[in-house]
Amino acid sequence: MNGRERLIAAAGGMAVDRKPIIAWPMPNSDSDAYVTCSHEPGACPDGALKLAAVANPFGQALKAGVDIRSAFEEDPVEGATILDGLVALTEAEVQFALKHGFDGVFYLVYGARAGHTTPMEYGGHYLERDREILSGIAGAQFNLVFVLGGEDAYLDFVSDLPAHAFGWDSVASGVSVAQIRAMRPGLLATNSPDADIELRFGLADVAEHLESEIQNPKSQIPVAHAL
């Protein structure tokens, strides 16, 4: 099996020859998937599953320097209008990727953590928008949701987001595979030997790295690739 076949088979509940590996955001030659920005496709190695790393609407706000939280506090109607625009940006990135040869998306969930929102704020403003976007691309070959955060991540809130695989940082969050498996069925992807898909970050704190990178457009997040 090559990487693409392995991950698609796993998503379909079929037997695979070994546990799939996704190395991201730092490259690793053992990776079964090639993860990169949709507008910087690069050269996907033969046999690799090609995923577009796409930030959710809250991540789009971070990227654009938009204080969406304050916008909602000052004027909920204006906040909702701004959020609609951010949703449109995420949807456009997703559709661009799927129309240009990507097998699916590596959907980055920013905002579902205490450092960004309260549980009420995230659940009230952002959760259902993430769900709508992901539901709209359920027909893709392979989608993975990755929740950024450590011990402050609202993993219970987002555990039912629709995707072929659900990812998080088990070490930073202190949340085990068994705990997430009690919340949702399907493939679980994290940096634990108990995961269905092994995530290899190559970084001590992937959330801190990505949140720093997304707010600094001069610095590009490295792509992960497979050979």
In a domain, 156, yes or no: yes
Instruction: With 0.85 as the threshold, say if the pTM is over it.
Output: yes
> What backbone torsions phi and psi does residue 69 show, to the nearest 5 degrees?
-65, -45
In order of 60, 78, 105, 139, 215, the CA distances from 71 in angstroms are 14, 7, 28, 34, 18
Beta strands at 224-226 and 30-36: parallel, antiparallel or unpaired: antiparallel
In a domain, 185, yes or no: yes
Here the CATH number for the domain that contains residue 169 is 3.20.20.210
- What's the pLDDT score for residue 88? 97
- What's the pLDDT score for residue 41? 60
- What's the pLDDT score for residue 216? 67
In a domain, 222, yes or no: no
In a domain, 5, yes or no: no
- What's the pLDDT score for residue 123? 95
Instruction: Count structural domains, the chain.
Output: 1
In a domain, 14, yes or no: no
- DSSP labels for 61-90? HHHHT--HHHHHHH-HHHHHHHHHHHHHHH
- What's the pLDDT score for residue 206? 79
Helix, strand or coil for residue 100? coil
In a domain, 3, yes or no: no
In a domain, 208, yes or no: yes
Cα separation, 177 vs 32, in Å, equals 21
List all residues 6 or more positions away from 188 whose beta carbon is below 8 Å from its beta carbon.
Answer: 165, 166, 167, 177, 180, 181, 195, 196, 197
Q: Give yes or no for a contact between 48 and 2, defined as CB atoms under 8 angstroms apart.
A: yes
In a domain, 4, yes or no: no
Host domain of residue 61:
33-40+49-216
- What's the pLDDT score for residue 158? 97
Spans of the chain below 50 pLDDT: 218-227
- What's the pLDDT score for residue 223? 36
